[in-house]
């Protein structure tokens, strides 16, 4: 059985596109270039993307720090 933390993370990740008003495609004639107008027109999606990036960086940093701390502890014991 999944832990409550994993279940809540799964529910949030499934609800995030709906809450951010994400859309599967573009209507009309669009080129493949991006500009900042799209980010301004969809502020919730922009905030959600930035939050995901910050969380990913934080998680990787936390993982690296914990692994380094574990290696240091093992080296001290030996």
Q: How much is the pLDDT for 28?
A: 59
pLDDT band for position 1 (50/70/90)?
very low
Dist. CA 78–CA 68, nearest whole Å: 16
Chain centroid offset of residue 70 CA: 26
Q: What is the pLDDT of residues 15-74, one digit of tens each?
A: 777 766 656 565 555 555 566 787 888 899 889 999 999 999 999 999 888 877 777 777
Distance CA 26, CA 47 (A): 20
The per-residue DSSP string of 24-39 comes to SS--S---S---HHHH
Q: What is the pLDDT, as a whole number, of residue 39? A: 80
Q: What is the pLDDT of residue 20?
A: 67
Q: How many CA atoms lie within 13 A of 77 on its CB side?
A: 6
């Amino acid at each position: 059985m999944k832990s409550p933390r994993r279940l809540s993370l799964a529910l949030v990740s499934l609800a995030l596109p709906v809450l951010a008003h994400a859309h599967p495609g573009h209507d009309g004639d669009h080129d493949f270039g991006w500009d900042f107008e799209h980010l301004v027109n969809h502020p919730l999606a922009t905030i959600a993307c930035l939050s995901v990036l910050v969380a990913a960086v934080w998680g990787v940093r936390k993982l690296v720090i914990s692994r380094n701390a574990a290696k240091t502890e093992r080296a001290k014991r030996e």
